C-alpha cells in the first residue's frame, strides 16, 4: 500500500468506527439540582478524607473510657462524653434520654481447673453477663447432656446434682485463615445480591453467631454442637423447661463453648425477666426464676472437657470452679445520647445510630465503638457543610443493645408519635470493615430511590443496596414500628475474631475503612433527608417484616427461635416496643 493511501485510510478509520459503533443511549445531563447534590456529595467525601476525627474519638472511647457494660459508670461516662462531642460539633438539642434496667451487674472473677484427671490443667473461662456466682469453690462432675426432646431428659433424672453441664458437642470452627465465615462454619452462599450483584461478605454472616449469643443467645435448630442448644431445644418454651429441669435437678454450672479459635472467649447475657414478652422489656424480676451460674469457656477447653467427659465408665471428669459476681439492686437509670441537625421540616426525621454499650472482656472498640464514632463523624461532616437539610437528621447513641436492643426499643417507645414521620433509621454495627451496602429488609419500593440517590458512593467502594433482610442490631426496633430500618452491610475484616472477645481492642480499628463508613452514612443520611417525600413503607408481605425476618437471604420461619421479634405486628398500626429476646440460664 502506498504511503499516501495508507495515510488516508488512517485518517478515515476513526470516522468509520464512529459510524459503525452502536448508538447506545447517553445519560441525560444532570439537572441543576442533581448537579448541586452531586457536588455536595463530593464535598462531604473529600472533607471526610482530609479532616477525620474518627481515630481520635475512638482512641479516647477505647483507651480512656474503656468497656461500657450497660448500667455501668463507664457507660454513663461515655454517654456524657458523646454529648460533649455532639455539642462541640455544633449539633442542636443535645441531651441524654433516660430509661431503666431492673438490675445492674459487675463482673468478678471466674476460675476453673481440672481435678480429675489431675494433670494440673487450668481452664480459661469467663462468667456470662448477669450470671450469679457459685458462693465459693465447688468440685463437680462434668456431664454432657445429649437430648433432642423433653422426653430425652428423663434419663438424666437424679444424675445432675452439683454437676457442670456441657450442652452437646463442641462447635465446628472455621479455619483461622477464613475471616469471611461466621463463627461456627462456612457461610452459605447468598442468593440476595447487592447493587452490582457481587457476592460480598455480609453483616448477617458475622452476626450468625451473634444471633445465637447476642440479644438472647437462642439456638438455630439447624446448627450442630456448640455447647449451647445443640441438643435440639429450639422452641423457647422447651428451652425454659430445660432450664427448669436443670434447676430442679440441682445442676451447678452451665458451660458454653465460646465458638471462636485460638482461645478467644465469647460473651453475652442479660437480666432475667418473669415475662420476656413484656413491653417494658423486663417484667417482674422479683418473681423471675433464679438463673443458673453460666460460664463461657474457650472452644479448645470445651472440646477437651467433652472428650474427657464422654470416655467410657468408670472414667470420671471433675473440675473445681468458682464464680464471683455482684448484682447492683435496681432499677438503674441508663441513657441514650441524642443530638440533631434541625431541618426545614422540623417534625420529620432521619435517624443515624449505633450502640454505645459493649461487653467488657476487651475495650468494646469494634463492637461498637467503631459504629459510635462513625455516627459522631457523620454528624461532624454534615454540620461542617453548613447546609440545612429538608428534614431533621437525628444522631442517637443507643445503649442496652447487647442485652436485647433495649435502648433502641426505648427510643422508639419514647418517640412513638414521631415514628410515622421518621423516614429511615441507618445503623452501623459490624466493626471496622468497609460499608458495602444497606439491606433494605425486602422494601422493593425503596430500592430504585436509593440506587438513584447513592451514585456518588460507588467511588468509595459502596456496592449498592440490596433487598436483603438483616438482624442483630438496633435497626430492628424501627422495623418493628413500621419505619424503614437499614443496617450497614460491611466487610467482615476480623469481626469474627473481635466480636465480644478479649481481642476487641483499639489496635484492630482500621481508619480508612471507618472514614469510608462515615462517607457512606453522611451522604446517605443527607440524601434521604432531602428527598421530596418520606421513604415509602410498603413491601411485599412477609419480606423482612416483623413476622418473618430473613437471614442470609432465606426467610426465617415464624416458629424459628432466632426471630428477633416478640410478636407479629401490622406496621401500619401504632408503633410497639419489641419484646426482648430470652436469655437461657
Instruction: Classify residue 306 as exposed, middle or buried by CB count within 10 Å of its CB (0-12, 13-18, 19+).
Output: buried
Q: What is the pLDDT of residue 241?
A: 79
Domains belonging to the chain, first-starting first, are 55-103+331-545 (3.40.630.10), 109-326 (3.50.30.30)
At 544, phi and psi to the nearest 5?
70, 10
Between CA 502 and CA 533 the distance in angstroms is 45
pLDDT at site 31: 60
Strands (DSSP E) along 117-158, which ranges? Answer: 122-123, 125-127, 138-144
Residues near 500 by Cβ (< 8 Å), separated by ≥ 6? 210, 213, 214, 266, 267, 268, 359, 361, 367
User: Closest Cα partner for 323 from 535, 130, 182?
Assistant: 130
**What's residue 237's pLDDT?**
66
Q: What is the pLDDT of residue 297?
A: 98
CA distances from 133 to 39, 122, 130, 284 (A): 59, 19, 10, 21
List 300, 401, 418, 479, catalytic entry: 401
Q: Are 399 and 61 in contact (CB under 8 A)?
A: no
Task: Note the pLDDT of residue 182.
Answer: 54
DSSP 8-state class, residue 365? I
Give the global pTM. Answer: 0.81
Q: Given this model, what pLDDT does residue 151 score?
A: 84
Q: What angle do CA 553, 554, 558 make, to 5 degrees?
A: 135
Our separate counts of H helices and E strands in the chain read: 13, 15
Residues (pLDDT < 50) of the chain are 1-29, 183-233, 274-286, 545-585
pLDDT of residue 544: 59
Confirm whether 401 is a catalytic residue. yes
Give the strand pairing for 138-144 and 164-166: parallel
Residue 99's DSSP bridge partners are 334
DSSP states of 223-235 as a string?
---SSSSTTS--S
Distance of CA 464 to the CA centre of its chain: 20
Amino acid at each position: 500500500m502506498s504511503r499516501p493511501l495508507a495515510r488516508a485510510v488512517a485518517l478515515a478509520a476513526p470516522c468509520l468506527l464512529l459510524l459503525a459503533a452502536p448508538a447506545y443511549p447517553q445519560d441525560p445531563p444532570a439537572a441543576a439540582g442533581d448537579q448541586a447534590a452531586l457536588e455536595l456529595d463530593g464535598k462531604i467525601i473529600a472533607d471526610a478524607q482530609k479532616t477525620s476525627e474518627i481515630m481520635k474519638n475512638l482512641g479516647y472511647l477505647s483507651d480512656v473510657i474503656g468497656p461500657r457494660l450497660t448500667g455501668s459508670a463507664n457507660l454513663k461516662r461515655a454517654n456524657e462524653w458523646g454529648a460533649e462531642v455532639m455539642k462541640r460539633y455544633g449539633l442542636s438539642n443535645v441531651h441524654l434520654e433516660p430509661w431503666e434496667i431492673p438490675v445492674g451487674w459487675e463482673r468478678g472473677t471466674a476460675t476453673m481447673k481440672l481435678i480429675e484427671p489431675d494433670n494440673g490443667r487450668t481452664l480459661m473461662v469467663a462468667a456470662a453477663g448477669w450470671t450469679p456466682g457459685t458462693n465459693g469453690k465447688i468440685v463437680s462432675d462434668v456431664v454432657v447432656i445429649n437430648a433432642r426432646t423433653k422426653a430425652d431428659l428423663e434419663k438424666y433424672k437424679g444424675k445432675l446434682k452439683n454437676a457442670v453441664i456441657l450442652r452437646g458437642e463442641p462447635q465446628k470452627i472455621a479455619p483461622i485463615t477464613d475471616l469471611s465465615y461466621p463463627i461456627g462454619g462456612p457461610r452459605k452462599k447468598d442468593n440476595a445480591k447487592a447493587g452490582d450483584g457481587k457476592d460480598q461478605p455480609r453483616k448477617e454472616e458475622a452476626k450468625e453467631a451473634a444471633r445465637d449469643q447476642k440479644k438472647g443467645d437462642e439456638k438455630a435448630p439447624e446448627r450442630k454442637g456448640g455447647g449451647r442448644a445443640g441438643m435440639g431445644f429450639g422452641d423457647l418454651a422447651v428451652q425454659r423447661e430445660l432450664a427448669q429441669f436443670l434447676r430442679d435437678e440441682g445442676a451447678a454450672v452451665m458451660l458454653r463453648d465460646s465458638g471462636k479459635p485460638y482461645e478467644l472467649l465469647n460473651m453475652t447475657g442479660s437480666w432475667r425477666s418473669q415475662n420476656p414478652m413484656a413491653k417494658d422489656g423486663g417484667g417482674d424480676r422479683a418473681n423471675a426464676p433464679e438463673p443458673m451460674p453460666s460460664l463461657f469457656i474457650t472452644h479448645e477447653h470445651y472440646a477437651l472437657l467433652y472428650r474427657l467427659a464422654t470416655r467410657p465408665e468408670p472414667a470420671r471428669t471433675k473440675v473445681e470452679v468458682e464464680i464471683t459476681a455482684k448484682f447492683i439492686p435496681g432499677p438503674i437509670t441508663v441513657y441514650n445520647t441524642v443530638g440533631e441537625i434541625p431541618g426545614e421540616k422540623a417534625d420529620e426525621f432521619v435517624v443515624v445510630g449505633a450502640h454505645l454499650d459493649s461487653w467488657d472482656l476487651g475495650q468494646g472498640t469494634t463492637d461498637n465503638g467503631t459504629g459510635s464514632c462513625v455516627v459522631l463523624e457523620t454528624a461532624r461532616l454534615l454540620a461542617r457543610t453548613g447546609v440545612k437539610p429538608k428534614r431533621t437528621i437525628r444522631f442517637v447513641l443507643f445503649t442496652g443493645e447487647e442485652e436485647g436492643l433495649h435502648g433502641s426499643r426505648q427510643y422508639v417507645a419514647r418517640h412513638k408519635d414521631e415514628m410515622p414521620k421518621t423516614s429511615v433509621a441507618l445503623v452501623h454495627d459490624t466493626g471496622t470493615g468497609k460499608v458495602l451496602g444497606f439491606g433494605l429488609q425486602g422494601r422493593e419500593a425503596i430500592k430504585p430511590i436509593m440506587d438513584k440517590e447513592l451514585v456518588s458512593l460507588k467511588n468509595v467502594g459502596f456496592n449498592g443496596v440490596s433487598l436483603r433482610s438483616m438482624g442483630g442490631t438496633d435497626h430492628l426496633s424501627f422495623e418493628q414500628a413500621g419505619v424503614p430500618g437499614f443496617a450497614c452491610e460491611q466487610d467482615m475484616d476480623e469481626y469474627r475474631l473481635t466480636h465480644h472477645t478479649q481481642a476487641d481492642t483499639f489496635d484492630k480499628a482500621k481508619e480508612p475503612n471507618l472514614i469510608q463508613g462515615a462517607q457512606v452514612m453522611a451522604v446517605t443520611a443527607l440524601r434521604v433527608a432531602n428527598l421530596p417525600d418520606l421513604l415509602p413503607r410498603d413491601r411485599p408481605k412477609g419480606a423482612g417484616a416483623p413476622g418473618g425476618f430473613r437471614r442470609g437471604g432465606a426467610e426465617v420461619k415464624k416458629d424459628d427461635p432466632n426471630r428477633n421479634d416478640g410478636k407479629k405486628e401490622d406496621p401500619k398500626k401504632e408503633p410497639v416496643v419489641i419484646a426482648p429476646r430470652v436469655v437461657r440460664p
